[in-house]
Structure 1
Amino acid sequence: MTDPKSSRLLDNRWDDAKAAGLSESQLLLYRSNLLGSDKRITNYGGGNTSAKVIEKDPLTGQDVEVLWVKGSGGDVGSIKIDGFATLYQDKLEGLKNIYRGLEFEDEMVGYLPFCTFNLNPRAASIDTPLHAYVPYKHVDHMHPDAIIAIAASKNSKELTKQIYGDEIGWLPWKRPGFELGLWLSKFAKENPTAKGVVLESHGLFTWADTAKDCYLLTLEIINKAIAWFETETEGKAIFGGAVTQSADADKRKAVAAALMPVIRGFIGKSESKVGHFDDQPAVLEFVNSADLRALAALGTSCPDHFLRTKIRPLVLDYDPARDNLDEVLATLEASITAYRAGYAEYYERCKHDNSPAIRDPNAVVYLVPGVGMITFARDKATARISGEFYVNAINVMRGASTVSTYVGLPEQEAFDIEYWLLEEAKLQRMPKPKSLAGRIAFVTGGAGGIGKATAERLIGEGAVVVLADIDEAALKTTEADFAKRYGADVVRGVKLNVTDEAQVLASYIETSVQYGGLDILVSNAGIASSAPIEETTLATWDKNISILATGYFLVSREAFRLFRRQKLGGNVVFVASKNGLAASPNAAAYCTAKAAEIHLARCLALEGAEAGIRVNTVNPDAVLRGSKIWSGEWREQRAASSHLQVDELEEHYRKRSMLKLNVFPEDIAEAIYFLASDASSKSTGNIINVDAGNAVSFPR
């Protein structure tokens, strides 16, 4: 084994106590999750694992050999036992008899369902033959950066021999499929002492007879490469050395926040996109280097990297020394147009008679010297993962270009993977996007009853949401709850006092950096007070006006500025109140501020229409459940004004309504969703009352 003291080496995390008593399939799951937990071993969704297990045939009761292998589209780090496909090994062997040769290898995927064991619904992937025909019980196929750096070097065969001798073999580039499975089988049989293979421009195969031995072997082979690179690269200029100095962290964030909405506007007209920003040291080392443009133009090597990051990134000409941001923004449209034209030319050069139609020609990865990397995709998780894949590619280029010459995937091979008919079929099977897929929402008062219900409704329809709230404890709890139930990618929390202009500006910068821009503002931050006019203090008056009028003005103004930079339109929904239309006794400050909200919304609807910015209002009434407003003095004050006990108030409001119904946060959220969605695309300046019916508040 290599020196365990090296900080870069992979740790052995196998726990014999945890593994004790596990079945062979459970050991496969355990091994897979361990391997997938470290991105230096394989990236999200990349690589696969397998085990050949003796099982009882459900029909005959006889022992049969079954291949357990990661199913199509799975991720070894997070896979569960039902994520594995199971296939009769003897039937897989029988497929060799009907294989008609390389020209027909894609048709073999259609035969895999006929090999299914025990009616397992998990679809087998195109990599199944790569595992089935290796004559060992356990097989790992990983995409470690250190190994791909060898595989993507000009002299990868020689480097493999130099590092591993005869322990690990080498095979030239071959697209995954049935033919590569036969190649691996032939190599393993002809080289019985070999423990695996480096696949040119692709990754690593290792094999063993037990799950633990296979896991330890995979780590050992990767660690040998890591240790070798540490020795070989020590003291050498990486990427030709730095030619740009990184801006400080705040400046990097500010530049990203300025660029991302504009990029999003240019690339998101036909399909909404969500962004991700990464300025980790590995990224900055690359974007600041002398070799940035030359290496970026070569594209990635590993097919998994390429599928996530496209043929090549777009490098922007930002110079932190000159801080030429305005110049970059002014030329951004031309840069993106040129990239699209280049992509179209690539498609025309490489397409076949039966190739699918050209797809989205926009870049996925945007590299900014001195700042970092921006990625865009149809959802946040995909944008983040695309960035992670490009970091893998950077690590590969770092190693390969330092010890040899980095070689990207040949253009035609890259095209044949990107527009592979089997890949197209997988894309066509993807579910239809939800109604708010790719949309970015900002919800003030996001940790309260209406705000939380609204965020949940928008997330459920595919939006990502920034929760803004002054209550930091409630905000953290709400964010954690959504992250647990829906995934961390879909929600961010920002502490915000809507009356503080600087905080409002900072919150929108954070929104742009986290997600790339904005589509929906739900202005919902609230307060309430009750007192006769002669007992209303100036402080109470000012607080109502500050939060309910000035606060709504500040968040709307910044939303408008962001919408106009994006040029994608926009959507503002004010949460006002029945009291904005109908006066109530002993609540002059509150009612006046709510009336101001409604009129502000009308003014903004007039101003925003020419830019496709819609502004509408929802008027709730008596939403007691989950409301922070109704949890304090306001509830007691309103009960007192109606000569009621506090616990009688909800029933009082129900009976007072025309429909004799209670109004809940989810009811308000439904109206907000309608106004925020394309279902109301022809409505602006409108008011929806969600109050179970109050004649005095009918809009006139």
Structure 2
Amino acid sequence: MSTTSTSTTPQPVVDLIGRANRLGSDPANTNYAGGNASAKGSVADPVTAEAVEVMWVKGSGGDLGTLTEKGLAALRLDRMRALVDVYPGVEREDEMVAAFDFCLHGPQSAAPSIDTAMHGLVEAAHVDHLHPDAGIAIATAADGEALTKEIFGGRVAWVPWRRPGFQLGLDIAAIKAENPGAIGVILGGHGITAWGDTSEECEANSLDIIGTAAAYIEQHGKANPFGPPIEGYDPLPEEERRARAAALAPVLRGMASTDRAQVGHFTDADVVLDFTSRAEHPRLAALGTSCPDHFLRTKVRPMVLDLPPTAPIEDVVARLAELHAQYREDYARYYDEHAVADSPAMRGADPAIVLVPGVGMFAFGADKQTARVASEFYINAINVMRGAEAISTYSPIDEAEKFRIEYWLLEEAKLQRKPKPKPLATRVALVTGAASGIGLATARRLAAEGACVVIADLDPEKATAAAAELGSTDVAIGLAADVTDEDQIAAAFDAACLAFGGVDLVVNNAGLSVSKPLAETTAADWDLQHDVMARGSFLVSREAARVMRAQDMGGDIVYIVSKNAFFAGPNNIAYGATKADQAHQVRLLAAELGEDGIRVNGINPDGVVRGSGIFAGGWGAKRAAVYGVEEEKLGEFYAQRTLLKREVLPEHVANAVYALTAGDLSHTTGLHVPVDAGVAAAFLR
């Protein structure tokens, strides 16, 4: 076994992390957060200074591709292996997970996963457990055991399906002992496990099994494992395909959110379009996935539309509603048939994956990352089915075993340990004029509170940069949107639907101002401000209502209006009038959209100078001239004329948006909230 390196990190850990990152970063080897890897070595006990054997293994919930030392569980091997003597048998094997805590070495260890026994009980210095598509294809083939022998000879052994746990670790350890020449095993219905005396040998053995399985499928597999094409089910042209996907996304999101709100993800990857265009896809989809990591995220099976991609959209929506009702009935039957006295309550009967032939795949989850990963996992499942059907018949584990894992008490405990969702989790927000000032502050606050955010701005580069500041595309996207252009507004909402499944929260913030006396205000000045703010917010709200009605999940529309909607200031005819228009739109739309559960409210800021694109664009200089103050002191001037004598910042307006939309004001609509530090002349009457 390896010994401790001279650095502060033991050499086996350095080797393990490098191997894990290399293997985990390639989707051909394993899926996101799937699989496990371990290393064993000797370290000095900090209490006795004597050498002790320790195993480092990826902790529960970690990802191999991004694994760091903090993500490892460290266990004393002597204590780990002593658990064999107190093992109460397979009927009580779940109790062993709690026992792993008594084997931990050091205070910084991650929580040990259910796969810990597989690594600790196998007599090898380094062990990998992976979920490669090619390996699972062999594992789910009807004659997987015979194929394993044919493909690998005695180099790789077969392990019949067993739920992950202590007994599976004992099974693999026994098979390794009985097959000293083996480099690993195929786990029936599940994946692969490989080992080696060194990290390099273990990694090479893992890649050998994966590569050999893939090569065999490539060389011996039949040409069209999913059958011939179905007439009329060819993929639509890209532009038409994505337009239909954008139209269906909010409808499907609403269905998938019947039990609890979900975020969506869409893909029209070639592998999905090919699968849904072939004759065997209904049969295979009905069989569901097999690898536990797959179906825990994709559910027992997907919902599959049985209409061609050219069917009228209204027929598709009607059929999807029928299929959704049937899916919920079938899932309830699945739960009732397999649940036992101590099974957790049913978590929800809606699909996580929806396949629409000729269009693509829609995935749903508690957040964007969960939905995206579910989509990636179902693509893994398609690859698995292709491989298994190419050389045999796809034969996943049965429903009873799937239920045992989906509603496993250990899995339920893992779910219960997850942090409480943030207040705006599952909500999708679209903010106009969001690359600076109030819009950017609002986008930041909404994202910080858990929302997915679409930053729409006239400047696409600034919008993209602002979105990147908030996080990955799982958090925010930036796009161009001229709110005076109906087509651009529609495109922005389509992009939101394709990225996140729909839209729940819209902030009409885009604006500008031209400050002039009446005699100097041109018709062009008037038209520009009314086009951007009055007409623009009308167009945005109209598109928002269309999407929100399709979702049938309610929603929020917030107008960033102004104190000037109610206060008559000098030299401000065009701006004040258009803000009054927006203010009345709030009342009108609140009255009209209430029956759809859509709340419409306004916020009336004043004197928001810092960070403001409007003030920086010349408005500040003009207002400073009107009031006879220096431009850089305009914010201070505005503050001194307020009741609270406080300057209003973009973040204060963002706070009001959050207050209106985070749930505590769930019964409030048609309200205007002043955020002006107190301007008596603008009090609402």
TM-score (norm 2): 0.97
The alignment partner of 1:240 has SS state of coil
- Structure 2 counterpart of 1:240, from 221, 224, 227: 227
User: Counterparts of 1:473 and 1:340 in 2: how far apart (Å)?
Assistant: 44
- Aligned residue for 2:570, secondary structure, equals coil
Q: CA deviation at 1:558?
A: 0.6
Q: What is the distance in 1 between the residues matched to 2:111 and 2:60?
A: 6
Q: Which residue of 2 aligns with 1:10?
A: none
CA contact (8 A) 2:72 2:109 kept: no
> Which amino acid in structure 1 is aligned with residue 569 of structure 2?
S
1:645 and 2:668 equivalent?
Answer: no
Paired residues of 1:318 and 1:325 also in contact (CA < 8 A): no
Tell me the distance in 2 between the aligned counterparts of 1:391 and 1:267. Answer: 19
Q: Is the Cα contact below 8 Å between 1:318 and 1:324 reproduced in 2?
A: no
Matched, 1:511 2:496: yes
Q: Is the 8 A contact 1:105 1:179 kept in 2?
A: yes
Q: Partner amino acid for 1:563?
A: M
Determine the structure 1 residue equivalent to 2:654. Answer: 669
- Residue by residue over 1:180-210, the C-alpha shift from the partner in whole angstroms, topping out at 9 and shown as x without a partner, is 1111111111111110001111111110111
Where in structure 2 are the equivalents of 1:402-551 lying within 5 Å? Answer: 402-483=390-471, 487-551=472-536
Shift of 1:122: 1.4
**Distance between the aligned counterparts of 2:259 and 2:211, measured in 1?**
45
2:227 corresponds to which letter in structure 1? G
Q: Report if the CA contact (8 A) 2:36-2:57 is conserved.
A: yes
Does structure 1 residue 300 correspond to structure 2 residue 285?
Answer: no
Q: Aligned partners of 2:15 and 2:307: how far apart in 1?
A: 50
- Report SS of the residue matched to 1:680: coil
For 1:244-393, what aligned pairs fall within 5 Å after superposition? Answer: 244-320=233-309, 322-393=310-381
Distance 1:271 1:450 in 2: 31
Match of 2:3 in 1: none
| Aligned match for 2:51, one of 49, 60, 63 | 63
- The partner residue of 2:140 within 127, 130, 152 is 152
AA in 1 matched with 2:428: I
Q: Which residue of 1 aligns with 2:607?
A: 622
Per-residue deviation, 1:121: 4.1
Q: Is the 8 A contact 1:73 1:125 kept in 2?
A: yes
The residue aligned with 1:208 is 196
Match of 2:4 in 1: none
d(CA) in 2 for partners of 1:105 and 1:135? 21
Question: CA-to-partner distance for each residue in 1:337-356, whole Å, 9 max, x for gaps?
Answer: 11011011111211122211
Q: Give matches, 1:28-177, under 5 Å.
A: 28-177=16-165
Please list every run of at least 4 consecutive aligned residues from structure 1 whose deviation after the TM superposition is greater than 2 angstroms. Answer: 322-325
Shift of 1:679: 1.0
How many angstroms does 1:119 deviate by? 2.1
Equivalence for 1:609: 594
Alpha-carbon separation, structure 1, partners of 2:475 and 2:264: 12
Q: Is contact 1:313–1:364 with CA below 8 Å preserved after alignment?
A: yes
The Cα offsets for residues 618-669 of structure 1, whole Å up to 9 and x where unpaired, read as 0111111111111121111011111122122121112111111111111000
Gaps of 5+ in 1: 1-18
Amino acid paired to 2:251: V
* 1:79-126 C-alpha deviation (Å, 9 max, x unpaired): 211000000000001101101211111111111100010123411011
The question of whether the paired residues in 1 share the 8 Å contact of 2:255 and 2:350 is answered with no
For 1:15, the equivalent position in structure 2 comes to: none
Any idea what SS the aligned residue of 2:608 has? coil
Q: 1:284-340 CA distances to partner (integer Å, 9 max, x unpaired)?
A: 1111110010000101111111111111111012312x4332112012222111101
Tell me what 1:14 maps to: none
SS at match of 1:297: helix
Identity of aligned pairs, percent?
48
Distance in 1 of aligned mates of 2:126 and 2:241: 46
Deviation at 1:162, TM superposition (A): 1.4
Letter in 2 for 1:315: V
Q: After superposition, where does 1:181-220 map in structure 2 within 5 Å?
A: 181-220=169-208
Per-residue CA deviation, residues 467-516 of structure 1 (Å, 9 max, x unaligned), is: 10001221121111112xxx330111120000001111111111111111
Between the aligned partners of 1:68 and 1:399, the Cα distance in structure 2 is 33
Q: Which amino acid aligns with 1:308?
A: R
Measure, in 1, the Cα distance between the counterparts of 2:358 and 2:112.
Answer: 44
Distance apart, 1:537 and its partner CA: 1.4
Distance 1:627 1:121 in 2: 47
Deviates more, 1:383-392 or 1:351-360: 351-360
In the aligned structure 2, how far is the partner of 1:679 from the partner of 1:352?
38
Distance 1:699 1:517 in 2: 34
What one-letter code is carried by the residue in structure 2 that aligns with 1:301? Answer: S
1:22 CA displacement: 7.7
Distance (Å, rounded) in 2 between the aligned partners of 1:350 and 1:251: 42
> Which residue is 2:683 aligned to?
698
**SS of equivalent to 2:506:** strand
Match of 2:551 among 566, 569, 583: 566
Judge conservation of contact 2:263–2:364 (CA < 8 Å) in 1. Answer: yes
Aligned length: 676
Matching residue of 1:25: 13
Aligned equivalents of 2:617, 2:296: Cα separation in 1:
54
Give, in whole Å, the separation in 2 of the partners of 1:131 and 1:660.
65
Measured after TM superposition, the shift of residue 147 of structure 1 is 0.6
- Once the two structures are overlaid, the 10-residue window that deviates more, 671-680 or 549-558, is 671-680
Is 2:620 the counterpart of 1:632?
no
Q: Which amino acid aligns with 1:585?
A: P
What is the CA–CA distance in structure 2 between the aligned matches of 1:288 and 1:28, rounded to whole Å?
42
Distance (Å, rounded) in 2 between the aligned partners of 1:553 and 1:123: 52
- Aligned residue type for 2:103: C
Q: Distance in 1 between matches of 2:466 and 2:630?
A: 31
TM-score, scaled relative to structure 1: 0.95
Out of 563, 566, 569, the residue aligned to residue 578 of structure 1 is 563
| SS of residue paired to 1:239 | coil
Gap runs ≥5 in structure 2? 1-6
Corresponding position of 1:8: none
Native 8 Å contact 2:256 2:352 kept in 1: no
Which residue identity is paired with 1:237? N
How far apart, in 2, do the equivalents of 1:46 and 1:266 lie? 29
Q: What displacement does 1:525 show? A: 0.3
User: Which piece of structure 1 moves more, 209-218 or 102-111?
Assistant: 209-218
